[in-house]
């Protein structure tokens, strides 16, 4: 399964400054899901295919790795809050603290979504400013150019 970034990059960029997680907590399938859900609708399948071939590694590193890592974290964060055992799904609790409340988790999810979306828009601005270098990118197919969400308000362009 080929993805634009590795699970280790997700841990480095998406979880920076946090107690280290086990590398097995992030899989290539998680990254692929984030690419399919958030990245491909914005950059298009043709440019995504070109980038998967290893072309433009600096563009991926400078513009797409951070938002992709954050979007991947956004997808897996709920799973990290739970402990799945053979007797069922548990919320962890220790002497140092207890599981975060739903409101706190929702704020974290929104913060991750906002930061990742802002960084993805930065990448899109770069693509549009350098259109001749990225002929596979079609701004008319970019979902961000057709629809945006501001709070609870959906805007169709």
Number of domains in the chain: 1
Distance of CA 156 to the CA centre of its chain: 23
Residues 37-90 have pLDDT tens digits of: 999 999 999 999 999 999 899 999 999 999 999 999 999 988 777 666 677 665
Does residue 101 lie in a domain region?
Answer: yes
**CA-CA distance, 37 to 148, in Å (whole number)?**
15
Is 62 among the domain residues?
A: yes
**Is residue 85 in a domain?**
yes
Q: Counting every residue, how long is the chain? A: 157
Domain of 77 in residue numbering reads as 7-156
SS (H, E, C) 11-51: HHHHCCCCCCCCHHHCCHHHHHHHHHHHHHHHHCHHHHHHH
Residue 96 in any domain: the answer is: yes
Q: Is residue 75 part of a domain?
A: yes
| Confidence band of 25 (pLDDT split at 50, 70, 90) | confident
Pairing of strands 88-90, 83-85: antiparallel
Q: Please tell me whether residue 121 adopts helix, strand or coil conformation.
A: helix
Report yes or no on 1 lying in a domain.
no
What mean pLDDT comes out for the span 109-118? 92
- Write down the pLDDT at residue 19: 67
CA pair distance 9, 13, nearest whole angstrom: 6
- The alpha carbon of 117 is separated from its chain's Cα centroid by a whole number of angstroms, namely 9
Residue 2 in any domain: the answer is: no
Residue 110 is assigned to a structural domain of this protein: yes
């Amino acid at each position: 399964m080929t993805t634009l970034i590795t699970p280790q990059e997700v841990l480095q960029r998406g979880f920076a400054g946090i107690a280290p997680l086990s590398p097995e907590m992030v899989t290539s399938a998680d990254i692929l899901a984030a690419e399919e859900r958030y990245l491909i609708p914005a950059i298009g399948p043709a440019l995504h295919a070109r980038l998967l071939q290893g072309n433009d590694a600096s563009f991926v590193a400078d513009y797409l790795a951070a938002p992709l890592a954050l979007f991947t974290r956004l997808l897996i964060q709920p799973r990290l809050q739970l402990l799945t055992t053979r007797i069922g799904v548990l919320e962890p609790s220790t002497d140092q603290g207890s599981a975060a409340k739903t409101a706190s988790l929702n704020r974290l999810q929104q913060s991750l979504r906002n930061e990742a979306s802002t960084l993805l828009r930065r990448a899109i601005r770069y693509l549009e400013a350098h259109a001749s270098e990225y002929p596979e990118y079609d701004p008319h197919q970019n979902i961000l150019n057709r629809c945006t969400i501001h709070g609870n308000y959906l805007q169709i362009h």
